[in-house]
Amino acid sequence: MYHTIYISPIGPLRLVSDEGGLRQLWLPNEIEEKICPQGWKEDADFSINRLIAARLDDYFAGRRVAFDDLPLAPHGTPFQQAVWQRLLTIPYGEISHYSIIAQQMGKPKAVRAVGGAVGRNPISILIPCHRVLGRDMSLTGYSGGLPIKRALLALEKIAYRP
């Protein structure tokens, strides 16, 4: 694995990738909590890390609204992968709800399982779990903390109920 720190307006992010694509994006609180395993190589010049950093520059500057051209390669169960694929369909500046995602997947009773998969998304921001709100438009949990979620929603001009 190749990793690097990307300095963003919401704090430092760790990009973790290999030849297959971006595997993880650690939010600021995760950088504080996690330790890179032995054998990982710090490399800001690794091609995927450079590409992701450039796309994040564009996102935070308001010039990029989609990431469908990126080599995203998160590890997860087939169900988690299906939920993360569904998250990728939520357009910039729009939101969804856990129940809607469950219905779209043909599993309307799997709302809690969808919530669990959303919470385990290893590539936050690029797989936009911050765009998932409660049915009443309230903020729900976010692995990076609610202040980060609020900042991302503000960047995309998404209204929510405080």
The tens digit of pLDDT for each residue in 49-76 reads 999 999 999 999 999 889 989 999 999 9
Would you write out the chain's pLDDT as a tens digit for each of its 162 residues?
Answer: 999 999 999 999 999 999 999 999 999 999 999 999 999 999 999 999 999 999 999 999 999 889 989 999 999 999 999 999 999 999 999 999 999 999 999 999 999 999 999 999 999 999 999 999 998 999 988 999 999 999 999 999 999 988
Q: Looking at the domain assignment, is residue 73 inside a domain?
A: no
What does the block give as tokens for 98?
């856990």
List the domain range (segments joined by +) for residue 87. 78-156
Same domain for 94 and 36, yes or no, is no
What pLDDT was estimated at residue 162? 81
Q: Looking at the domain assignment, is residue 124 inside a domain?
A: yes
What does the block give as tokens for 27?
């939010």
Structural domain count, the chain? 2
Same domain for 85 and 130, yes or no, is yes
CA distance 16 to 25: 6
| Whole-prediction pTM | 0.94
Q: Given the residues 72, 87, 117, 129, select the one marked as catalytic.
A: 129
Same domain for 96 and 128, yes or no, is yes
Same domain for 94 and 42, yes or no, is no
Same domain for 101 and 136, yes or no, is yes
36 is catalytic: no
Out of 33, 61, 89, a domain closes at 61
What pLDDT was estimated at residue 141? 87
What pLDDT was estimated at residue 102? 97
Same domain for 111 and 50, yes or no, is no
CA distance 95 to 138: 11
Q: Looking at the domain assignment, is residue 48 inside a domain?
A: yes
Tell me which DSSP letter residue 4 carries. Answer: E
Same domain for 40 and 93, yes or no, is no
Q: Looking at the domain assignment, is residue 92 inside a domain?
A: yes
Same domain for 83 and 151, yes or no, is yes
CATH number at residue 10: 3.30.160
What pLDDT was estimated at residue 61? 96
Same domain for 57 and 85, yes or no, is no
CA distance 94 to 131: 7
Q: Looking at the domain assignment, is residue 71 inside a domain?
A: no
For tokens 């990076």, what's the residue? Answer: 144
